[in-house]
Structure 1
């Protein structure tokens, strides 16, 4: 069958099982005190576009983990909701109304939205609802085991009341503040923006820089720097000669700034009035006074200066900044540029050393440039040199005597110099977007704005940070190497703007002009899932929810009898809702992408410890990397985004699940390849074909020969490896064992055995279907039904390796055969070929030698200097003195993986003789080392236990 035909066949299988799951409601979870519970959630999606293949990794991993825990006997709750909050939907609808060709093209070409539907989506709520249903349909097509009874949106009235309650609690506990603060800002939307509001979901990273003012005769040049302590080493000022700068009045002073800088200053509260313009080239050669040293420094040309960085003018510190060192060096030799701008001889302009740092000369920038072989400013190693110097000087440098802070550590001097310059009126605080350019979803470039009366969640609160660290210490982080990242994120957190003046969402209860933004209303919603089914069914009247009701449900305050009489809610309903929350909480596992560690996931920890008692703090966070498409980042411009629903049509759900979960370790980025998906599809049908082939047999774990024992032993190994991997969410490893290695071994078994043990194969398929169920649930269900099992494999018990026997001798025998096949292939690849293969089994004394070495190993190890004298005490070994040291040296690198048995080795070779002849295409003769019937090249003496010698002729 063609790939297209296989996909169509698979789609039929998937539809069948999705309908059966839904009809039987097997993923709806209610409290059951007789069962251990497991509650997990994944980030709820933002409905401003369909989900694509990349989303399939995070959601697929969560579903696989949910399915695994369910089969382990846990009562598993896996719910879903939709995050409408914020401005992205409004911005996208606005762009649609304005006829934005990029948005329209995406809707038509990538998302496959009918043209006649576009007009309707100009309404923000209709757009959100459309994509909401599109995402939900995609999740069902992917086979996610979600309890849809608990679905909600973040603009539902009941959810608004829940968020109102949350913010009242934060306010009561002193975690909300109001004041003046820098925030990422969209000048077009006139609103604060966060990660969810930007193109590509990029969080605007706000960083503080220092504006240092260099004063001339009538003008002042302010320069922005991250390193104010280096002002003592300024030799010149860089300006772009091709840029037209603005002359503006600021507090009675005339500043020279780029046009972009003027805009930024206005948003940061500076009173700026333009009074003129000047070309950069007109200022070249003029001198301005260094406010720290009082010395005049010249303005020099530099086309590399970007008008949108800082003020568009840069101070130059060539002794401690590699880029400045390179620029000054290159300008000195650029006679044409010097002549063009009428610059006098600058050969005497030399770097100034102001910081002493161990391991470097007086000019660290020069050292770094030369040691790294940096050619010029465009060399990528220039940035490496810059980071090296900054780190070394910041952590170990000390200010020199030619500064005003001799002997002071750079780390301390950086703050002191900034404070002193600002206090003396020679500098100002200024904020930049460190990861600029960042664009709002409306297309405007994000700037920093100092917002008055802005509401913040005060994540800088030291006592709150302490609680967050305590929660993190008690929490399991998967993968564990990300724990340090969470620790750093908690320490790094500062005040977070939590509300804005426009957008969808919940209004601040104590200041209703503000709407709570999307990264602030999505931190404890996992608690809301536990009660949302009662609201959706009408059992709990949303209109009667208020702070007191939520206090009872989530914090246990008050009693249901009093609350019932005052709120008009049935006492039994209140009790049931409270008990349901306590049954499911705390959250057992939270799943998300790695990009959310530094915001959402850390906010999640903070808010839980702020509101809930310690016994209800989250237990685990699982983080995964993103997905690329055939090695490239997914983007609309590259046209390589495939929406989930379209992807399922092309490849089927199970191949997508396996491809995105199985191509990388958890913390690494995975790569989706259509070729791999098609190959995986074919592997799944090979397993399905095996189920059909052996479906008529009775199922029994019964072994007939070496091959049966080997396959059972391999199955036991895979069950253990898959189970261990899934306990750590290592889906890639689990999929490798269940889809690839096990299939390869079953096919090897069938080839070797010839006439398969049908009863055993049916047993293998029973276990195999269960191993596949978390990753390829539709195919697993089909296998389960095909082999005559009842019910759903999704609800079947997870297999235990302890229930499967192990036949060690079979495994050892197979390793012997594998070694022979490997050796033959190695010899053949070197150009040696033949039709006859002679296999020589080692002499009995070598097996005895191995046994003696195994006995001695626990006492003296495998050091030949200790082992050989001990072995030579045996007369039989002394007789073969020249061979013993050679064998010991081979073993000393790590020992033999098993203790071979000669009789079993011979038996295995005789049993496998026909298989090896078919596999290798050779006539095979098995001989003994001590009495070979044919050994023209004297190969027999090379035989070792477990590794027979071979000769090809």
Structure 2
């Protein structure tokens, strides 16, 4: 992006999306926040001036065959990427949280000494922008119409405005237009993103969105401090002719390799946009696919005469005798031989619709809509052949009126195809009807009520197999045994009396009829026992499907799992059933419509190709090749690889690249986003930092007047497939038909060969089930024989909550990235994101942490300035014990921080590089009484600035340049090289710190105990000295226990017994334990438990050491002045013990003391 990117921010920089809790920031004072914002501005200005993050591949000749630099000083490259965000609005805190993982990785690897590239693009492909633009146009038009209507009678309008609101009515500014289109007006959404009123109408043009929002994305991310080479940024769709050429090349390869096919397939479908709805087109239900059911046809044997009369009114007498079927969707076709009845919802509304094959179906309205889109039901259209030939609306006025009424039905307004419904009937009207159920031995069964039926799932008609389905059994028993209930709903006894349970499946645990057994076991009393029945149902399905054997039906003797598919195929082949699909769960499109499943003619990518799938699965499973930083991500990818099959890659509505060989289709948004990381390698050479690849007034693409924006002066039409094949190393042969010089081609190829593959791709976990898996597939296809170009690692994180609540405007916790930066400063937001967590579980962004961090950061800066100023006048030259400890502990924190950064555990990295560094500084200052060593403090500030800089780069840059007065900027520095960590010195400090903590606690306990008896008792007035009892070695019985514990197998972490229970039993049975005295035995178990649980959890196996690695007596006596000062006493004496004997005293305190755990007695004057 050009240096003018910040100027692009001006137009909308004053806008904010419903600011949240500004009062909270005032607690710490806005001046502190303003200080951090000022440091942020300074750092960013310096980075821009230094062109800090623009990076190119080394020139040709500097690379090895593997693409690594030959110089021994260079640790190689690091390409980190993040899924480009969709540009239908401003970036928000959810984007920020996920992208910090990539940002932290980029900055850490640069510190490590790698050549780092973190490019960032902007996604515009797909349907949402077009849908919003069309919705805006419709709303604005209808608002104008509403205004014109209201202007007709202004006097009446005025009177209405002054009139009181009637009970149950509410005044609102929402127009008729919004009521018709639903949801929040698009204009209001745009205004909430900072769009000025006079620009709103521009957004009617979908391409204006592409011009407006991406520059704001860049500005917001620059303010956030992203370590990005903005020259490589771009937008997608054919609005960018360079990226458009890249996508066409990719799809030509997939088509040539036979990975792309054409056909009719069932797809999740948005009826408003009238096309398949992929994950990125959904408001909810990502990852949900079509669920296949078997639609059981139950012929109605005694259809009411009124039904026949109504149908004949439209179809004529000749067609009035069409067979009528109640249709039920089931996942358990193999159990149909056990049907005893069927169920309907008494208060449910059922549609009597025209099906194909001259049949009538009775089902819920929702399923009727699915059926017409699946070509199983007839559409209510004057163009329909059935309507023309049978209903004959040209001559039958009733038929014509029926079709018109269906087409103008508001309830069906979203649907371009509407089912031909003759009439509707309530479920209670069908109770008692006789139906012929497939495979059951009964000649017919009856329709009965079932109160748990959901009309928004399935067809609203349910088959009844009481032997296998607990719900069916409970309901049938209700109708059989409860006469009052039968009378209430008009159910005759003979409809149920002769219809008994038919055993269908034998299971080892429940015999020949599991439902009756389970209902008895869980004490189910009626069909209303929903919770109990849910448990029964889960158990029945699990046992029946996985271990059951058929004992009835055409596949008697076969395993249930095998019989399921065979029975469904049999029923379909005999025309007693058909296949039917619904979404596995509710899916809402971004248009606001509930999605259905439709048969669609489309191009699709065949991810089910067995050979392709095998290659990808093996790659993902191989931990030596592919890193996921957690098994949850790897397992999610493997699961997706196994279920992903045909993926619809074409659309007819939206923005994008046209399919090269069939330009009536657009490539959908997930399919054009699988290998674009490779395009980053050359984007700057093609586009020169211009997002759409076209200079203002740069001429039209494809004409002589077009001025290429990139430094290599390449035109889009020069990017042929042959050129891309060479540039992206699919061939070593230079293209034969190109006007591009070899040197230009070599430069492009050089960039790709150096930067690729992607070293890490960071993403939210929702993309595991689509984009991330598809990226692996497509890399394996495009670079089929070159796995060295496949992604090396993926990192996925959970969603982010704000103050433990889902981020939403209604909760008052929604924040755009700009809001958050303005409220807290970018470093504070980044740090709080790091603190929120790194796992696949939902993380929590705490605004309280942000407020605390504003205070912490500004306090540290102020302390550093004051301390360095004081030390500049002179300080200690000799380094004492605490100085040595301070520097040694820094070594440990540097090492721990490095490991945490390297393994993408940023909450831990923050813990070590910030919280524990701060605690260490405060402890050092406290123990030295602020008599700090100048070199130690300078070293601390240098290390603090370096190891925290991936998370808080602006603050750390200021520490480095402005506080420490370093000549070279921090962004050029490397990870600190530390001396070897001194474990003995660390152990000394650990013991000393613990001793001081215990001594202070003893002092507090004494103070509290004395005050209970004497309120005016004061420790400082009375206590002037103390005696400390130090055990130089363990007692014999303690040594025996420790020696035994050293033999106990430990867990993988080495900080607890591998078997938490049995180790105690082993100790009690040991010879050493049996030799203990009664008193020792009483103490043994508490001591052993404390050492194996408390001590080991903190220190690991070192907790079981028999001797300290240093002389505790010397360590404490050398620290005598420190101990006195910390406790506020004038003298202290030590008593040292060996073998339980005390030197010069007989105090009982020796019974408590042990190595590294002395005890203290305070002496009153």
Does the alignment reach a TM-score above 0.5?
Answer: yes
Match of 1:451 in 2: 600
Q: Paired residue for 1:519, among 664, 670, 673?
A: 670
| Alignment equivalent of 2:764, drawn from 593, 616, 627 | 593
Q: Tell me the SS of whatever aligns to 2:283.
A: coil
Deviation at 1:776, TM superposition (A): 1.1
1:39 counterpart residue number: 79
What CA distance in whole angstroms lies between the structure 2 residues aligned with 1:231 and 1:527? 54
Following the alignment from structure 1 to structure 2, what is the Cα–Cα distance between the partners of residues 393 and 134?
A: 57
Aligned pairs for 1:781-796 (under 5 A) are 781-785=957-961, 786-796=963-973
Tell me the residue number matched to 1:248.
353
SS at 1:780's partner residue?
helix
Asked if residue 720 in structure 1 is aligned to residue 826 in structure 2, the reply is: no
CA contact (8 A) 2:1002 2:1160 kept: no
The 1:546–1:886 alpha-carbon spacing in structure 2 relative to 1, beyond 3 Å, is closer
Residue 321, structure 1, aligned to residue 493, structure 2: no
Aligned equivalents of 2:1069, 2:977: Cα separation in 1: 43
Say if 2:94 is the partner of 1:54: yes
Once residues 871 and 363 of structure 1 are traced to their aligned partners in structure 2, the CA distance between those partners, rounded to angstroms, is 58
Where does residue 806 of structure 1 map in the other structure? 982
2:241 aligns with 157
Q: Conserved in 2, the CA contact under 8 Å of 1:209 and 1:226?
A: yes
Shift of 1:852: 9.4
- Which residue of structure 2 aligns with residue 546 of structure 1? 720
> Equivalent residues in 2 for 1:245-644 (5 A)?
245-250=350-355, 251-272=357-378, 273-295=420-442, 296-328=444-476, 337-345=485-493, 346=496, 351-365=501-515, 379=530, 382-400=533-551, 402-436=552-586, 438-452=587-601, 454-472=602-620, 473=622, 474-537=625-688, 538=710, 539=712, 540-557=714-731, 559-560=733-734, 563=736, 566-612=737-783, 613-644=786-817
Distance across 2 between alignment mates of 1:353 and 1:922: 90
Deviation of 1:574 after TM superposition, in Å, equals 0.8
- Counterpart of 1:833 in structure 2 is 1009
The answer to whether the 8 A contact 1:751-1:915 is kept is no
- Say if 2:136 is the partner of 1:136: no
Task: Measure how far apart 1:465 and its partner are.
Answer: 0.5
| 1:176 matched residue in structure 2 | 260
Deviation at 1:808, TM superposition (A): 2.1
1:578 shift after superposition: 0.7
CA contact (8 A) 2:337 2:441 kept: no
TM-score, normalising length: structure 2: 0.75
- Give matches, 1:661-680, under 5 Å: 661-680=834-853
Q: Measure the CA separation in 2 of the matches of 1:22 and 1:353.
A: 78
Of the structure 1 ranges 763-772 and 482-491, higher mean CA displacement relative to structure 2 is found in 482-491
SS at the partner of 2:894? helix
The CA deviation at 1:773 is 0.7
Secondary structure of 2:350's partner? strand
Alpha-carbon distance, 1:885 to partner: 6.2
1:17 touches 1:778 (CA, 8 Å); kept in 2?
A: yes
Does structure 2 retain, via aligned residues, the 8 Å contact 1:625–1:670? Answer: yes
- The 2-side partners of 1:840 and 1:822 are apart by 11
| Distance in 2 (alpha carbons) for counterparts of 1:823 and 1:95 | 72
Q: How far apart are 1:927 and its partner, in Å?
A: 4.5
Counterpart contact for 1:868–1:888, Cα < 8 Å: no
2:119 to 45, 61, 79: 79
Maintained 8 Å contact 1:841/1:940: yes
Shift of 1:424: 0.7
Instruction: Give yes or no for contact 1:233–1:319 (8 Å, CA) kept in 2.
Output: yes
> Using a 3 Å threshold, how does the CA distance of structure 1 residues 865 and 223 change in structure 2: closer, same or farther?
closer
- Pick closer, same or farther for the CA change 1:95–1:822 going to 2, 3 Å: farther
1:530 to partner: Cα distance? 0.6
How far has the Cα of 1:234 moved from its partner?
2.8
Corresponding residue for 2:974?
Answer: 797
Give me the whole-angstrom Cα distance separating, in 2, the residues matched to 1:468 and 1:256. Answer: 45
Which residue of the other structure, out of 290, 295, 317, is the alignment partner of 1:206? 290
8 Å Cα contact 1:820/1:947 also seen in 2 = no
Cα distance in 1 for residues equivalent to 2:1130 and 2:541:
67
Provide the C-alpha distance between the structure 1 equivalents of 2:573 and 2:827, rounded to a whole number of angstroms: 65
What CA deviation, in whole Å up to 9, does each residue of 1:884-943 have, x standing for no partner?
A: 96897468736662533332442365243145326xx9997654455588987x333210
Superposition map of 1:667-746 within 5 A: 667-696=840-869, 697=871, 704-746=879-921
Shift of 1:47: 0.4
* CA–CA separation in structure 2 for the residues paired with 1:871 and 1:306: 68
**2:35/2:858 contact within 8 Å kept:** no
CA distance in 2, matches of 1:121, 1:201: 27
Deviation at 1:739, TM superposition (A): 1.9
Take 1:829 and 1:348, find their aligned partners in 2: how far apart are those partners?
81
Tell me by how many angstroms 1:42 deviates: 0.6
1:232 aligns with 2:314: no
Q: Which moved more, 1:908-917 or 1:533-542?
A: 908-917
CA distance in structure 2 between the aligned counterparts of 1:58 and 1:28, rounded to whole angstroms: 23
**Distance in 1 between the 2:1045 and 2:449 partners?**
74
Q: Which moved more, 1:760-769 or 1:402-411?
A: 402-411
Superposition CA RMSD, Å = 3.3
Compare CA radii of gyration and give the structure with the larger one: 2
Aligned residue pair count:
938
Unpaired runs of 5+ in structure 1? none
Aligned partners of 1:96 and 1:386: how far apart in 2? 47
Measured in 1, the distance between the counterparts of 2:1161 and 2:500 equals 75
Provide Cα deviations, 1:143-172, integer angstroms capped at 9, x if missing partner.
Answer: 110111001111211111111111110011
Q: Contact (CA 8 Å) 2:1030, 2:1134: kept in 1 or not?
A: no
Contact 1:236 1:316 in 2 (8 A): yes
What is the SS of the residue equivalent to 2:125? coil
Q: Is the 8 A contact 1:841 1:945 kept in 2?
A: no
Q: What secondary structure sits across from 2:1034 in the alignment?
A: helix
Equivalent position of 2:197 in the other structure: 115
5+ residue gaps in structure 2? Answer: 1-26, 59-68, 140-177, 304-323, 379-419, 689-709, 1011-1018, 1050-1062
Give the 3-state SS of the residue equivalent to 1:586 in structure 2: coil
The answer to whether the 8 Å contact 2:339/2:440 transfers is no
Classify 1:931/1:47 alpha carbon distance in 2 versus 1 (closer, same or farther; 3 Å).
same
User: Deviation digits for residues 12-31 of structure 1, max 9, x if unmatched?
Assistant: 11111112112211111211
**Is 1:221 aligned to 2:221, yes or no?**
no
Instruction: State the 1:665 CA deviation.
Output: 3.5
Between the aligned partners of 2:851 and 2:227, the Cα distance in structure 1 is: 24
Distance 1:231 1:830 in 2: 79
Structure 2 contact 347–426 (Cα < 8 Å) conserved: yes
Query: Is the 2:353–2:377 Cα contact (8 Å) retained in structure 1?
Result: no
Closer/same/farther in 2, CA of residues 578 and 823 from structure 1, 3 Å limit: same
Contact (CA 8 Å) 1:701, 1:763: kept in 2 or not? no
Q: In the aligned structure 1, how far is the partner of 2:684 from the partner of 2:823?
A: 35
Is the partner of 1:199 in helix, strand or coil?
A: strand
CA distance in 2, matches of 1:529, 1:701: 54
Deviation of residue 414 (structure 1)?
Answer: 0.9
Shift of 1:638: 3.9
Contact 1:322–1:366 at 8 Å: present in 2 too? yes
Q: CA deviation at 1:377?
A: 5.4
Report what 1:779 is aligned to. 955
Report the CA distance shift for 1:808/1:439 in structure 2 as closer, same or farther (over 3 A). Answer: same
C-alpha contact (below 8 Å) 2:327/2:362 kept by paired residues: yes
Q: CA deviation at 1:371?
A: 5.9
Q: How far apart are the structure 2 equivalents of 1:280 and 1:373? A: 29
Residue 939 (structure 1) aligned to one of 1138, 1149, 1160: 1149
- Structure 1 pair 371/52, CA: closer, same or farther in 2 (3 Å)? farther
